[in-house]
Amino acid sequence: MRPRAIRCMGVTKHFGSLMAVHGVDLVVDHGELLVLLGPSGCGKTTLLRVIAGFEELERGALTVGGELMAGPKHHLPPDKRKVGMVFQEYALFPHMDVGSNVGYGLDRNPEKRSKVKEMLTIVGLEGMEHRMPHELSGGEQQRVALARALAPRPDVVLLDEPFSNLDEWMRHRIRADVHRILREVGATAIFVTHNQEEAMLLGDRVAVMNQGQLEQVDTPENIYHRPATQFVAKFMEIADFLPAQSDGYVLVTELGILAGPLGLYPGEEVEIMLRPNDVSVAADETGTGIITNRAFKGANYLYTIQLRTGQVMHSEHQHNTSYPVGLKVNVSINQSHELLCFVKGELRTIPVRANE
């Protein structure tokens, strides 16, 4: 088992009557890249600022590298914590050149000059010590900010939506660079983002937050394929939940019969999670639904379908099959993999499968 780099125990923070973070328990291992993911206002940035020391927690405790950073009547200020921070705005000093920015936290280090050169080489900016921030591109500024955060060899690097100010092309490039650099130096890092794709690409694990609490902490694969709650499922990608009723052996739905799961009593109501690629449509004048919207996504079309009961479903098809809005269609469930069953908004452990 890897040693713990960060441990949050019941961390709670309010702003007036607003509950920003409530009872968060979270462990980050040494060398792990963890992503805090969630919608605006969910508490992810507040939690990051609590770890950094910019906000004082009200209840709970926080350790970094096994040392108590915050707890009852205890708060270590940011400059006393071995934590590096990369802000959304990069926060470079405009009157200082690149070398001075990178070496800002190394003032008393006798090897300051060599460490600055080392960090600039790591981030691919060797020979740019004397450039000023305004002479750099957004991506170069981001790498300077990362080099500055890594230079003092912190126990943890915290990154608050570091790519949000970059255009899409630059975002993909810099994201890959930052991920590679953090891996190369063996850093422990926490990213904050509201971008689902970014979270899945960067994180060893993803912690999904909602209304100040953790909904699920797991691998990117499990977060996507086995969401613990309907909130996680819907936040990660379009997810529809088809009502179903058990007769004790099978599940009866508007789209047909599904096998299992075991353990449901007759009459128990559940919901089946369906992603757009779990649902197929075919033109049929006597069909079970009607197409109400079509969105072109390049390689695919995303269709919105309304069933006879008013239930809304989504289906994704390759672009070479195009159906017009208003077309009546037969809607069916793909049988290529197991589907997930939710009871009262939470995942039921036994999956279900469409009948052959």
Say yes or no to pLDDT of 181 above 80.
Answer: yes
Mean local confidence (pLDDT), 115-140 = 90
How high is the pLDDT of residue 28?
Answer: 97
More confident position, 223 or 354: 223
CA distances to 93, 140, 345 from 143, in Å: 14, 5, 42
What would the pLDDT profile of 204-253 be if each residue is shown by its tens digit?
A: 999 999 999 999 999 999 999 999 999 999 999 999 999 999 888 888 99
Q: What is the percentage of the chain residues whose pLDDT exceeds 90?
A: 63
Residue with tokens 């590298």: 65
How high is the pLDDT of residue 261?
Answer: 64
CA–CA separation, 134 and 92 (whole Å): 10
Mean local confidence (pLDDT), 55-71 = 94
Say yes or no to pLDDT of 353 above 70.
Answer: no
Three-state SS at 183: helix
CA–CA separation, 97 and 29 (whole Å): 35
How high is the pLDDT of residue 325?
Answer: 97
How high is the pLDDT of residue 355?
Answer: 55
Note the Cα 259 to chain centre separation in Å.
32
Three-state SS at 57: coil
Mean local confidence (pLDDT), 32-56 = 96
Say yes or no to pLDDT of 77 above 80.
Answer: yes
How high is the pLDDT of residue 219?
Answer: 98
How high is the pLDDT of residue 81?
Answer: 92
pTM of the model: 0.87
CB under 8 Å to 178, separation ≥6 — which residues? 142, 143, 146, 159, 162, 163
Three-state SS at 28: strand
CB 206 within 8 A of CB 220: yes
Phi, psi angles (nearest 5°) of residue 268? -70, 135
Mean local confidence (pLDDT), 112-133 = 90
Say yes or no to pLDDT of 296 above 70.
Answer: yes
| Tokens found for residue 169 | 């092309």
Q: What is the percentage of the chain residues whose pLDDT exceeds 70?
A: 95
Amino acid (one-letter) located at 208: V
Q: Which helix (H) or strand (E) holds 173?
A: helix 168-185
Say yes or no to pLDDT of 4 above 60.
Answer: yes
CA–CA separation, 270 and 349 (whole Å): 13
Mean local confidence (pLDDT), 34-57 = 96
CA–CA separation, 156 and 28 (whole Å): 10
CA–CA separation, 191 and 205 (whole Å): 11
| Tokens found for residue 127 | 């020979």
Say yes or no to pLDDT of 106 above 90.
Answer: no
CA–CA separation, 16 and 195 (whole Å): 28
How high is the pLDDT of residue 164?
Answer: 82
CA–CA separation, 52 and 76 (whole Å): 10
Mean local confidence (pLDDT), 283-299 = 94
CA–CA separation, 189 and 29 (whole Å): 10
Domains and CATH numbers, the chain: 4-234 (3.40.50.300), 240-354 (2.40.50.140)
Other C-beta atoms closer than 10 Å to the C-beta of 78 total 12
Mean local confidence (pLDDT), 77-93 = 86
Mean local confidence (pLDDT), 109-117 = 84
CA–CA separation, 51 and 75 (whole Å): 11
What would the pLDDT profile of 11-31 be if each residue is shown by its tens digit?
A: 999 999 999 999 999 999 999
| Tokens found for residue 173 | 């490039």
What would the pLDDT profile of 298-350 be if each residue is shown by its tens digit?
A: 999 999 999 999 999 999 998 888 999 999 999 999 876 788 989 888 887 55
Mean local confidence (pLDDT), 115-124 = 89
Phi, psi angles (nearest 5°) of residue 58? -95, -40
Residue with tokens 């208003």: 326
Say yes or no to pLDDT of 113 above 70.
Answer: yes
Other C-beta atoms closer than 10 Å to the C-beta of 322 total 11
Mean local confidence (pLDDT), 259-285 = 88
Say yes or no to pLDDT of 152 above 90.
Answer: no
Residue with tokens 């449509």: 281
How high is the pLDDT of residue 156?
Answer: 94
- Residue 92: name the closest of 173, 7, 165, 30 by CA: 165
